[in-house]
Chains A and B, each alone.
Chain A
């Protein structure tokens, strides 16, 4: 469902180019939850933005649901839902208006967009606050609206960049439940996170990103077997210390 092949992204800096992502390759199968883990500056966000068709790769290629992210960015955007913890809402619109707006941007005509918004309002139990402006909603309510926005076109692929960063316990729980439920429904999920326990709990497979390179990839068991360590944090620190030699896949992959 998601294929990255030798993906490179460079940014111009004084005196040359800086590689934020350096030859990244991995695959995510349909219905799989793939966790992209790494410290700040590892290249997680840049990778997800490239896979979402928001920025162009400098070289290499990536396909999402069969569409090339560089040449078919709009087709890519049609089949994915993008969520981050920092995602803001239009505070002067109501949840109902917001969902309808995004449904229209995904190509639905106005009646269809209205129906879809109504469906999501019911499904996510938002009726109580669906006509209040988003600016007056609690964090948990806003997260529900955000989930509704992600699902507005019922995309088969979800890309989530640090979706729980800085959230309180209740909102955090809401997002984690949503990811679990989406995974159960067969959606393909690409998740980047700082929180290794979340990755342990949710992900079918995990890729460690360090200085723009994938230094390890596999299931939790495969990674544990390879390093002889139990916790993901310890595994990551060991792999990072080993450096680029550890970049070879730990397991057979998918």
Chain B
């Protein structure tokens, strides 16, 4: 039975098993399909109904004197004038409180006010009088809510042109009915005032502009910041996580609790097949959940008329990009599924798993919540913050904002890297004897150093987790070092970045390896190499930079070079010229050669020797090496360089020849850029153009390169096979 068939069998069974569970269906289908319409439409309707109800209800007004006193009469007078306006102008124009007519078109906050102002006719007004003896008593009535508002006319109401009516309104802003009543009275007074103004203006035959010297139209050009547009991506991401939680618990801790785990482990099925099958089911359900959530959001926005609320004016959700949004949510769903499975695998019971999941959700909420803040943008560090980057990317895509290819790729690649590490952890944890049979405390057996057995090389899980943690950390550190420029400008940043490399790429994995009792010599592939390997490495180092340079020229000539990439390359060249040759050799030659070989070839590739095929391992480590350079334009050439160095390390079973190749490659390449005068045989670039080297130089380099490869290939120890040990 093949791996694929076994995984398919397990996948099919687990999917049926889960989909028959009521709880899965509720979490996956019922919640997303009903949640958004209920949340959005329901809350909007509730607010509308409540506002209307408050508007139509009689306003209880507390005032001085009885119902037939002068104060009550003034109020009745006001109501009479208002009713007169209603009778005369069934489609009255909006009242303006200020002399200047003002309107504002903003994507997020317009609807509520505009809907009210553009009502066809002024709403009816019902007033009810509560007599009071003093202003203090009126205040007390409003406070104890026996009246909505208090009204005090300084003098009796009159519409004589030479007198201003002074009216005090007492209300409680925290009490919705009081606040609504206050707003209604203000509106009534403004409408009456506007009507009287119009009548006076007409009587004097003055133009409309006489009282309204301004007409202001304000247009908000800021990025869309509606609450809905900010919160929806977070909800979407959270619902994707929620979709993964229940199946992850059910098929790990749930399986153990029901007593079926031992049964399945007694079958002729490798644990990795089992975990892959189960993991694919969790990921499928999380992705289905994400798709249903996304569909439900879009349907609610589309059919509920929320388009203007969510996006820039007139654009709405870019429905054509839904597939892209879903595509972006897939690696995220995979990541969360793997994290949930890894966490739940430690648990012995359903309840225990739920306890473990809670802090994970809280940990996810922190970057997710931060990303949901209006001021947070999809750039810089946020591109690689797990969860946060996905919230931002989803938001940008949902509101139809432009997202660059490099941003998109950085988010997707970093999420994929984190997902791979999480899958490896899940597989490792699930297969652990102590976790499967819970004979000893599972978490302790993983983290208590006294219980850890020494090992000759790091596990794949350890290597992937360390790499996944280092990736954002290195990105943050680089960004921070480059943003804190001193007087020395970019040169200082460059020095600090390369000085930090040994700490990040060597010290951190070394500390992790030492804690988990991994032999450091094995962890970094520090074994010796044959004379052939050394000779081959020198030949490769002499020639690889020419091959790489030719590839870059080819790439630029055929695919072009962005202005940004050209600018940064030129800036780097200028910086390199400011460094002394010795410093340049140490900073850009020696340090990266040692540190990158130690991490990518020693620690990561070394961990893949057991269990991963040669080509897959080399390609994977090369891809991670390329991604760590954070420059899209450099991806192809760094990937190929990483693949070559990976092959050298795999073949010679040591990182040391690779260090020589890497050192020579970097040193010659940077020296040739910084000190062109030393490389007079190279064609000098004219105004940024890139020329190929003379054919003789290239052919010689290829010949030396090939000779180096042959020597390295023949230096392979006898035990080295074509595939993993």
Q: How far is the CA of A75 from the CA of B6 in the complex (A)?
A: 15
Q: Give the shortest distance, in Å, between B529 (CB) and chain A (any CB).
A: 32
Asked whether, in the complex, the Cβ of A11 is within 8 Å of the Cβ of B439, the reply is yes
B residues near A102, Cβ cutoff 8 Å: 267
Residues in B lying within 8 Å of A, measured CB to CB: 1, 6, 9-10, 13, 16-17, 20-21, 258-260, 262-270, 433-434, 436-437, 439-440, 445, 448, 450-453
Q: How far is the CA of A202 from the CA of B10 in the complex (A)?
A: 36
Asked whether, in the complex, the Cβ of A88 is within 8 Å of the Cβ of B9, the reply is no
Asked whether, in the complex, the Cβ of B262 is within 8 Å of the Cβ of A12, the reply is no
Q: Which of B13, B437, B450 has the most chain A CB within a 10 Å cutoff?
A: B13
Chain B residue with Cβ nearest A102: B267
Contact of B451 among A12, A77, A104, A106 (CB under 8 A): A12
Asked whether, in the complex, the Cβ of B262 is within 8 Å of the Cβ of A77, the reply is no
Q: A14-B450, A78-B268, A90-B13 are in contact. List 17 more A-B contacts (CB 8 A).
A: A11-B434, A11-B440, A12-B440, A13-B440, A13-B451, A14-B448, A46-B439, A75-B268, A77-B266, A77-B269, A84-B262, A88-B263, A92-B20, A102-B267, A104-B9, A106-B268, A107-B268
CB under 8 Å from chain B, chain A span 63-94: 74-75, 77-78, 80, 82, 84, 86-93
Asked whether, in the complex, the Cβ of A87 is within 8 Å of the Cβ of B445, the reply is no
A residues near B269, Cβ cutoff 8 Å: 74, 77, 105
A-side interface mostly: mixed
A residues near B10, Cβ cutoff 8 Å: 105
Contact of A88 among B258, B268, B445, B450 (CB under 8 A): B258
Q: Which of A80, A92, A102, A107 has the most chain B CB within a 10 Å cutoff?
A: A92
Q: How far is the CA of A91 from the CA of B257 in the complex (A)?
A: 12
Chain B residue with Cβ nearest A56: B433
Q: How far is the CA of A105 from the CA of B452 in the complex (A)?
A: 33
What are 10 A-B residue pairs whose CB atoms fall within 8 Å in the complex?
A46-B439, A54-B436, A55-B437, A74-B270, A82-B262, A89-B258, A89-B260, A93-B17, A105-B6, A133-B20
Contact of A77 among B16, B20, B259, B268 (CB under 8 A): B268
Q: How far is the CA of A97 from the CA of B17 in the complex (A)?
A: 10
Q: How far is the CA of A93 from the CA of B217 in the complex (A)?
A: 66
Q: Does A111 sit at the interface, judged by CB under 8 A? A: no
Asked whether, in the complex, the Cβ of A12 is within 8 Å of the Cβ of B453, the reply is yes
Chain B residue with Cβ nearest A88: B259
Chain B residue with Cβ nearest A104: B9
Total interface residues in chain A, CB < 8 Å: 37
Q: How far is the CA of A20 from the CA of B445 in the complex (A)?
A: 16
Q: How far is the CA of A12 from the CA of B440 in the complex (A)?
A: 8
A residues near B21, Cβ cutoff 8 Å: 92
Q: Does A149 sit at the interface, judged by CB under 8 A? A: yes
Q: How far is the CA of A80 from the CA of B267 in the complex (A)?
A: 9
B residues near A15, Cβ cutoff 8 Å: 450
B residues near A54, Cβ cutoff 8 Å: 262, 265-266, 436-437
B residues near A84, Cβ cutoff 8 Å: 259, 262
Asked whether, in the complex, the Cβ of A87 is within 8 Å of the Cβ of B13, the reply is no
Q: Does A129 sit at the interface, judged by CB under 8 A? A: no
A residues near B262, Cβ cutoff 8 Å: 54, 82, 84, 86-87
Q: Which of A75, A87, A90 has the most chain B CB within a 10 Å cutoff?
A: A90
Contact of A101 among B9, B258, B259, B268 (CB under 8 A): B9
Q: Give the shortest distance, in Å, between B62 (CB) and chain A (any CB).
A: 65
B residues near A88, Cβ cutoff 8 Å: 258-260, 263
Q: Does A49 sit at the interface, judged by CB under 8 A? A: yes
Q: What are the 10 tightest A-B residue pairs by CB atom distance, in nearest-first order?
A: A88-B259, A82-B266, A77-B268, A12-B451, A88-B258, A92-B20, A107-B1, A88-B260, A74-B268, A105-B267
Q: Given known contacts A49-B437, A91-B258, is B268 in contact with A105 (CB within 8 Å)?
A: yes
Asked whether, in the complex, the Cβ of A90 is within 8 Å of the Cβ of B440, the reply is no
CB under 8 Å from chain B, chain A span 199-214: none
CB under 8 Å from chain B, chain A span 94-124: 97, 101-102, 104-107
B residues near A11, Cβ cutoff 8 Å: 434, 439-440
Q: Which of A46, A86, A105, A159 has the most chain B CB within a 10 Å cutoff?
A: A105
Q: How far is the CA of A15 from the CA of B450 in the complex (A)?
A: 7
A residues near B434, Cβ cutoff 8 Å: 11
B residues near A97, Cβ cutoff 8 Å: 13, 16
Q: How far is the CA of A52 from the CA of B437 in the complex (A)?
A: 14
Q: Give the shortest distance, in Å, between A71 (CB) and chain B (any CB).
A: 14
A residues near B437, Cβ cutoff 8 Å: 49, 54-55
Contact with B along A33-60 (1 / 0, CB 8 A): 0000000000000100100101110000
Q: Give the shortest distance, in Å, between B451 (CB) and chain A (any CB).
A: 4
Asked whether, in the complex, the Cβ of A149 is within 8 Å of the Cβ of B263, the reply is yes
Asked whether, in the complex, the Cβ of A101 is within 8 Å of the Cβ of B13, the reply is yes
Q: Given known contacts A56-B433, A87-B259, is B9 in contact with A80 (CB within 8 Å)?
A: no
Q: Give the shortest distance, in Å, between A167 (CB) and chain B (any CB).
A: 14
Q: How far is the CA of A159 from the CA of B267 in the complex (A)?
A: 13
B residues near A14, Cβ cutoff 8 Å: 448, 450-451
Chain A residue with Cβ nearest B8: A104
